[in-house]
Chain A
Amino acid sequence: MDNRQKEIDNLKDYKYGFTTDIENTRAPKGLNEDVIKFISNVKKEPQWMLDFRLKAYERFKQLKEPDWQKPKYPKIDYQDLYYYSAPKSMKDKPKNLDDLDPKLLETYKKLGIPLQEQKRLNGIAVDAVFDSVSVATTFREELTKQGIIFCPISEAIQNHPELVKKYLGSVIPVTDHFFATLNSAVFTDGSFAYIPEGVRCPMELSTYFRINAANTGQFERTLIVADKGSYVSYLEGCTAPMRDENQLHAANVELVALDDAEIKYSTVQNWYPGDKDGKGGIYNFVTKRGLCKGKNSKISWTQVETGSAITWKYPSCILKGDNSVGEFYSIAITNNHQKADTGTKMIHLGKNTKSKIISKGISAGFSDMTYRGLVDISSKAANSNNYTQCDSLLMGNKCGAHTVPYIKNKNSESNIAHEATTSKISEDQLHYCKQRGLSAEEAVGLIVNGFCKEVLQQLPMEFAVEAQKLVGISLEGSVG
């Protein structure tokens, strides 16, 4: 019991809140063409990439920041941000892990991702992104043997331009919404994965994001392409130091699944949520979109959202190929003054397409949580099906839980079913647990884990354990 208590105490405060004292190279403050050229130049990008960025920037200048979302935030001064920040030691890319700045290695060790050890352990291939650059990618050789490309996107632009050119911006075009377009203009790094035809990726691919520098926005871009008949499971984790001011994180994630391919994308998002009074924390405004391009393809999103001051994202699936399948499993937990407006979009275009949405929201403290989703079955998507279930759990009467689904059915041969419930933890269940010797907090943890089980089951093993713990920790102090 003592040990457990210690562990909990240890975890109670945001344990990833440290900063790494490391020298940075930064782009000049502000957003303009020169900064974009600077980023492109530092990355030694070809002309077409710079054109892509400038086109996005042109478009960005015409766009207005959206304000229809539930969680409101003070206006962001986009000229007061650094759009590029990299550890100095990264200027000339280290050839292998041994060349890495020890401070960086230390950081990742603290975060629980010992990059060095990973070389020996058989497990997950990690691409670690520190502020604006990708610092290390493990297991590369092993993956190369199978023809799998897994590397920082900046490297992919150099080494695999034909693939990047073909797919970058094909799911999230440069003309998309405000934050996505901003990302297209200034994205700095991220991961790129390509799984060739017929290959089943032998290990989980993973990216770990870390915001370290102050006043920096992190804009990473992830592109995953699963060629015909391939399979990949991809994990994403994120943390940031504790800072009083809010930091912007506007990533773009694009997934493309060709015929018979399957992509499973899991996120455990644990950005710094701000302190108990809602000061500081990350604004997590991410655009994630998957395109089921080929027939019989499948994309499945699983997310555990526990961090960030404001989470505002809708991982979506465009079901273009016939018989394609989209899935969305989500747990979102908000506590203290956190806010979340999250959900999904399932756009059915092909015939016989299926989608499933399971969303579990838990709000406690003074937090506010919204599920917002769209299911759109177009007139050509004959014989399609959607099932949506979104449940919310409220703890206390200072928090809010909202459900805003948009349901559009334009095809008479297709079916949509949607259910949503909102309730609190039942007294009976609590009583039962307490009777058997659990404390109130343990009981709530147990019940909440049960509430989330359907989603937790979808996570890869290594993540599921972490997520389960995270669920408990996020709700600390919300009972009684």
Chain B
Amino acid sequence: MKEQLQKDFDNTIRNLTLSQNDIEIKKFYLDNFINKGFPNRKEEDWKFSDLNQIIKKNIGELSFYSDYTSTNKVDSSAFVDGLEHNKIVFINGRIEKIDFDYEKKDQIEIIDQSETISKFNNNSSLSDLNSAFTNKSFKIAVKKGYQLTKPLIIYHTTNSKIWSKNINLRLNFELYENSSLRLIDLFRDTSEKNFLNIFYNFELKENSILKNYKVDKFENKNIKYSFNNIEQDKNSISETFILSSGSNFCKNEINCNLNGKYSSAFINGIFSLNNNKHHEIRTIINHLTENTKSYQLIKSVLEESSRAIYQGKIFVNSKAQKTDGYQLSKAILLNKDSEFNAKPELEIYADDVKCSHGSASGSLNEDSIFYLMSRGLNYQQSRELLINGFLLDVVEKITDSEVKNLIKNMIGIKE
């Protein structure tokens, strides 16, 4: 793999206009990655999902170079219907379109950061890989007091032009005081056997609000890793919703640093898996100052021989008195080959806190099915009704009604 990496790296560098210094930095990250390789089960964070093995088994040899010189045609029929929105379009990892048509132009700043190497606050091998190979990266800043009128949808589209490729994306967001942003990540893949490695960084200033929705709904054979780092100032709110369903393998990591008083973080997630899929959500909430709050709810419905993993950590340092942290994960195993693993973790150094977690996994409640069947539903209907209700609970946590309806329609959940 080393030679391949070196060769692909040289090709990638050739297409960029970087100073010698920046090239050195990128080389440094490349060497880091070559040393560490893809994470494997020996690392505690990857205990349940051995990415090295998964890539080997599903993809085999990866190539890290993508030719971004030619443009891809943006197919507007693929855009979400019935909801006016701003868009960023990635096709096969190439950024094709940034469009904030619905917003005041002077309130949103788009800064091309491709030529500046920003250090990412995460020293995993995947962030090294990302830093070494990201091609174009942008920073989107929402100015003080501006609240976007329409949500922003980021389309991650891949098509059959690529195969066995590693795609690295990076975006930075900065929300200034009193601003707000609604963001939807939408994955549409018609490609197979690629590895997407996505890093987002969010800076939330005082009183800003971020609503961050990730929708991986459509069936595909790709492998995805996404890392979101969210830094929160005083009074800011972040809300994250993850629908983890479509890809063959997907791991979403959310790292949330509650740096300012009264800041709060909400993370809700659904695993809806079938057919040998293997998905993971890992969350880390760091309560770093007093009076912060976090709430997490993760529900899974697992069919066939699928596997879901939830690792959630609540960290409270000794300054963070009056922390309120809550975490709940529930799973329904529908097939005897399905598997649910959880590692809900509390690490607490302050005494005046209220922290708790719960985790439950098991089969569908036969009593409830019996009840519904005795009311005239057949087995299949009863089962669907119960699962529907089970998942609806999480979708209802979405605070934005437009997005809530969009997601409800997408998963076909009825009220």
Stretch from B24-32, B226-234, B345-353 contacting the other chain: B345-353
Contacts of A409 in B (CB 8 A): 331, 333, 339-341, 361-362
Given contacts A394-B350, A421-B355, contact A411 B333 (CB under 8 A): yes
Contacts of B358 in A (CB 8 A): 417-420
Docked pose: A404 CA to B345 CA in angstroms: 5
Docked pose: A422 CA to B324 CA in angstroms: 10
Determine if A49 is an interface residue (Cβ-Cβ < 8 Å): no
Cβ-defined contact, B343 with A402, below 8 A: no
Docked pose: A392 CA to B356 CA in angstroms: 10
Residue in B342, B357, B361 whose CB lies within 8 Å of A419: B357
Please name the 10 residue pairs, one residue from A and one from B, whose CB atoms are nearest each other, closest first. A415-B362, A412-B333, A394-B351, A403-B346, A421-B356, A407-B342, A418-B359, A424-B351, A409-B361, A422-B355
Cβ-defined contact, A401 with B346, below 8 A: yes
**A136 CB to nearest chain B CB (Å):** 45
Bin chain B's interface residue count: 35 or more
Determine if B337 is an interface residue (Cβ-Cβ < 8 Å): yes
Residue in B352, B357, B361 whose CB lies within 8 Å of A424: B352
**B35 CB to nearest chain A CB (Å):** 20
Cβ-defined contact, A397 with B350, below 8 A: yes
Determine if B338 is an interface residue (Cβ-Cβ < 8 Å): yes
**A431 CB to nearest chain B CB (Å):** 15
22 CB < 8 A contacts A-B: A68-B44, A379-B337, A392-B346, A392-B348, A394-B351, A397-B318, A397-B321, A401-B348, A403-B345, A404-B345, A405-B344, A409-B362, A410-B339, A412-B335, A412-B336, A412-B362, A413-B336, A416-B360, A416-B362, A420-B344, A424-B351, A424-B352
Query: Which residue of chain B has the shortest Cβ distance to A425 in the bound complex?
Result: B351
Given contacts A398-B318, A409-B331, contact A420 B356 (CB under 8 A): yes
Determine if A276 is an interface residue (Cβ-Cβ < 8 Å): no
Contacts of A68 in B (CB 8 A): 44
Determine if B117 is an interface residue (Cβ-Cβ < 8 Å): no
Contacts of B354 in A (CB 8 A): 422-423
**B295 CB to nearest chain A CB (Å):** 15
Residue in B334, B343, B362 whose CB lies within 8 Å of A414: B362
Interface string of A150-170 (1 = CB under 8 A from B): 000000000000000000000
Docked pose: A409 CA to B318 CA in angstroms: 34
Determine if B363 is an interface residue (Cβ-Cβ < 8 Å): yes
**A367 CB to nearest chain B CB (Å):** 11
Query: Which residue of chain B has the shortest Cβ distance to A404 in the bound complex?
Result: B345
Given contacts A68-B44, A397-B349, contact A407 B359 (CB under 8 A): yes
**B340 CB to nearest chain A CB (Å):** 5
Query: Which residue of chain A has the shortest Cβ distance to B328 in the bound complex?
Result: A419
Residue in A379, A402, A417 whose CB lies within 8 Å of B347: A402
Contacts of B318 in A (CB 8 A): 397-398
Cβ-defined contact, B351 with A415, below 8 A: no
Contacts of A445 in B (CB 8 A): none
Docked pose: A177 CA to B91 CA in angstroms: 50
Determine if A91 is an interface residue (Cβ-Cβ < 8 Å): no
Query: Which residue of chain B has the shortest Cβ distance to A384 in the bound complex?
Result: B362
Contacts of B357 in A (CB 8 A): 403, 418-420
Contacts of B350 in A (CB 8 A): 394, 397
**A13 CB to nearest chain B CB (Å):** 26
Q: Which positions in A face B, CB cutoff 8 Å?
A: 68, 379, 382, 392, 394-424
Docked pose: A266 CA to B331 CA in angstroms: 34
Q: Apart from A412-B334, A419-B357, A423-B353, what 14 extra A-B contacts exist at CB < 8 Å? A: A392-B348, A394-B351, A396-B351, A403-B345, A407-B340, A409-B340, A411-B336, A412-B338, A414-B363, A416-B361, A418-B342, A422-B346, A422-B356, A424-B353
Cβ-defined contact, A419 with B356, below 8 A: yes
**A143 CB to nearest chain B CB (Å):** 44
Contacts of B349 in A (CB 8 A): 397, 399-400
Contacts of B363 in A (CB 8 A): 412-415
**A429 CB to nearest chain B CB (Å):** 14
Cβ-defined contact, A402 with B44, below 8 A: no
Contacts of A414 in B (CB 8 A): 362-363
Contacts of B341 in A (CB 8 A): 406-409
Docked pose: A301 CA to B344 CA in angstroms: 24
Query: Which residue of chain A has the shortest Cβ distance to B309 in the bound complex?
Result: A408
Contacts of A419 in B (CB 8 A): 356-358
Docked pose: A422 CA to B356 CA in angstroms: 6
Interface centre among A68, A382, A410 (most CB of B within 10 A): A410
Docked pose: A451 CA to B14 CA in angstroms: 66
Query: Which residue of chain A has the shortest Cβ distance to B310 in the bound complex?
Result: A407
Docked pose: A399 CA to B350 CA in angstroms: 7
Contacts of A399 in B (CB 8 A): 349, 351
Query: Which residue of chain B has the shortest Cβ distance to A424 in the bound complex?
Result: B351
Query: Which residue of chain B has the shortest Cβ distance to A407 in the bound complex?
Result: B342
Interface string of B358-376 (1 = CB under 8 A from A): 1111110000000000000
Q: Which residues 240-279 of B have a CB within 8 angstroms of A?
A: none
Interface centre among B341, B342, B360, B362 (most CB of A within 10 A): B362
Docked pose: A405 CA to B344 CA in angstroms: 6
Query: Which residue of chain A has the shortest Cβ distance to B335 in the bound complex?
Result: A412
Query: Which residue of chain A has the shortest Cβ distance to B349 in the bound complex?
Result: A400
Cβ-defined contact, B348 with A402, below 8 A: yes
Docked pose: A382 CA to B341 CA in angstroms: 17
Docked pose: A413 CA to B334 CA in angstroms: 9
Contacts of A412 in B (CB 8 A): 333-336, 338, 362-363
Cβ-defined contact, B360 with A418, below 8 A: yes
Query: Which residue of chain A has the shortest Cβ distance to B358 in the bound complex?
Result: A419
Cβ-defined contact, B346 with A420, below 8 A: yes
Query: Which residue of chain B has the shortest Cβ distance to A391 in the bound complex?
Result: B356
Contacts of B346 in A (CB 8 A): 392, 401-404, 420, 422
